Amino acid sequence: MERVFSGAQPTGNLHLGNYLGAIRNWVALQKDFECIFCVVDMHAITVWQDPKELRSNIRELAASMIASGIDPEKHVLFNQSQVSAHAELAWIFNCVARIGWLNRMTQFKEKAGKHRENASLGLYAYPSLMAADILTYKATHVPVGEDQKQHLELARDIALKFNNDYEVEGFFPQPEPLILGPATRVMSLRDGSKKMSKSDPSEMARINMTDDADTLSKKIRKAKTDPEPLPSEAAGLEGRPEAKNLITIFAALTNSTVDKVLSEHGGTQFSGFKQALTDVVVTKLAPITEEMARLNNDNAYIDAVLAKGAERANAIAQPILRDVKETVGFLNS
C-alpha cells in the first residue's frame, strides 16, 4: 500500500519556495497516490506563536493548499493538533530516538542559534514529531523540499529502530523522500546563498503567494543579480547563485528546464529577463491568489474541511496506534 504524507507549518505566508518545492508536487501526486496533507500547528509552536495569529494562519494555510489544487474531498487535509495520535506516537518516538541523532540536526542548530539552552525542548524534539506525523499513517512517500531531507532520514532511522527494538520487522515502512522538480531549494531574492524562508526579516527576500502584481514586479525588479548577461548553458551559472535561482524559478513555473530557458534567453540582460519572469510569476500565481482571497472569507467552509479531514485521518491513525501500544506493552482500552 503506497501512501503519501506531507505537511507545512502555519507560521506566516506561504512563499514560492513552499509552492515550488512542495505543494505543487503534492497536487500532482494526488493523481497516483492516496494522500494525506497536514497543517502542522504543533510544529509551529516549537517557536512561540501569537495564539490569535496562529489560529488565522492555520485557516489561511489550509485555504492556500486548497487554492493551489489540493482536493479535500478525494484526499485528506487536516490540522495536526486535531488528531491526538501525532502527540501520542511522538512521545513513544522520543523514547526510541537517540539524543546523538537529534544533535546532528542542522535545522535545530540554525533555528536555535547561539543560545541553544534557550531553545524549547519541542524545537529539539521537532524531528521526532515529524516522524510520528508520517508513521502514524504508515506513509511510504513524503514529498518535501530539499531542506527536509535530513529530517526524513531521521524518520527512517526511528522506524527501523522501533522495528528492531520491539522485534516487529516491517511494522513501520521506510518512508521515502520525494524531492521533485527543478526547484527543490528556492533561494532568497536578496542573497543566493540563503534559502527563501518565512523567517527572513526582509519581505523583499521572498515571493509570497499573497503578493499582488505590483509587489511581485517590484520584488523581482529589485532581486539581486550580477552585471553579466544570462549565459547560454547551465555551466555558465557556476558561481552565480542569484542568476541560477531566477532561472530555476522561471524553468519551474513554465514546466521547462534550466537548459531550455538558457537556450531561449542566453545572452540577454537581466533587466529584460526579469520582465519576462514577472509576467510568468504574475500569470501563474494570480488564479491561486484570487482563490485564496475568496476562501479566506469563508472560515466556516475551511473549519468544516478540517473537521472532516481530522475525522478521516483519525480513522486511519487509530488502528495503527492501537497496534503500536500493543507492541510497546501499554494496556489498550
CB nearest ligand TYM: which residue?
Answer: 21
Q: Segment 180-199, which members bind ligand TYM (CB under 6 A)? A: 184-186, 195-196
Q: How far is the CB of 133 from ligand TYM (least distance, A)?
A: 4
Q: Is 325 a catalytic residue?
A: no
Rounded to the nearest 5°, which phi and psi values hold at 176?
-100, 125
Q: How far separated are the first and last CA of the chain, in Å rounded?
A: 28
Q: Is 49 in the site for ligand TYM (CB under 6 A)?
A: no
- The single residue among 3, 13, 21, 92 that binds ligand TYM, judged by CB under 6 A, is 21
Beta strands at 34-39 and 76-79: parallel, antiparallel or unpaired: parallel
Rounded to the nearest 5°, which phi and psi values hold at 188?
-60, 145
> What beta strand segments (E) does the chain contain?
3-8, 34-39, 76-79, 141-143, 176-178
SS3 state at 171: coil
Check the CA dihedral 207-210-215-217 and report its sign. positive
The edge-to-edge listing of strands for the beta sheet with 76-79 is 76-79, 34-39, 3-8, 141-143, 176-178
Cα angle value 271/272/276 (rounded, 5°): 120
Q: How far is the CB of 229 from ligand TYM (least distance, A)?
A: 26
Q: How far is the CB of 143 from ligand TYM (least distance, A)?
A: 7
CA 87 to CA 73: how far, in whole Å? 25
Q: Which one, 111 or 232, has the nearer CB to ligand TYM?
A: 111
Q: Segment 97-156, which members bind ligand TYM (CB under 6 A)? A: 130, 133-134, 142, 144-145, 147-148, 151
CA 8 to CA 112: how far, in whole Å? 19
Residue with cell 542566453: 266
Q: Which of 111, 161, 224, 325 is catalytic?
A: 111
Q: How far is the CB of 329 from ligand TYM (least distance, A)?
A: 27
Q: Is 9 in the site for ligand TYM (CB under 6 A)?
A: yes
Eight-class DSSP state of 205: G
Q: Is 4 in the site for ligand TYM (CB under 6 A)?
A: no
Stretch that binds ligand TYM, among 6-14, 70-78, 223-231, 295-303 (CB under 6 A): 6-14
Q: Is 149 a catalytic residue?
A: no
Q: Which one, 192 or 231, has the nearer CB to ligand TYM?
A: 192
- The single residue among 22, 90, 207, 316 that binds ligand TYM, judged by CB under 6 A, is 22
Q: Segment 195-254, which members bind ligand TYM (CB under 6 A)? A: 195-196
Q: Which one, 64 or 184, has the nearer CB to ligand TYM?
A: 184
Cβ proximity of 186 and 21 under 8 Å: yes
Size of the site for ligand TYM (CB under 6 A): 25
CA 133 to CA 122: how far, in whole Å? 15
- The single residue among 39, 40, 97, 159 that binds ligand TYM, judged by CB under 6 A, is 40
Residue of 148, 147, 143, 141 lying closest to 180 (CA atoms): 143
Q: Which one, 134 or 324, has the nearer CB to ligand TYM?
A: 134
Q: How far is the CB of 2 from ligand TYM (least distance, A)?
A: 15
Helices (H) and strands (E) in the chain, counts: 14, 5
Dmax over CA atoms of the chain, in Å, equals 70
Q: Which one, 144 or 306, has the nearer CB to ligand TYM?
A: 144
Tell me the H-state helices in 222-269: 241-253, 258-265
Q: Is 218 a catalytic residue?
A: no
* Chain contacts with ligand TYM (rule: CB under 6 A): 5-9, 17-18, 21-22, 40, 43, 130, 133-134, 142, 144-145, 147-148, 151, 184-186, 195-196
Residues with catalytic annotation? 111, 195, 198
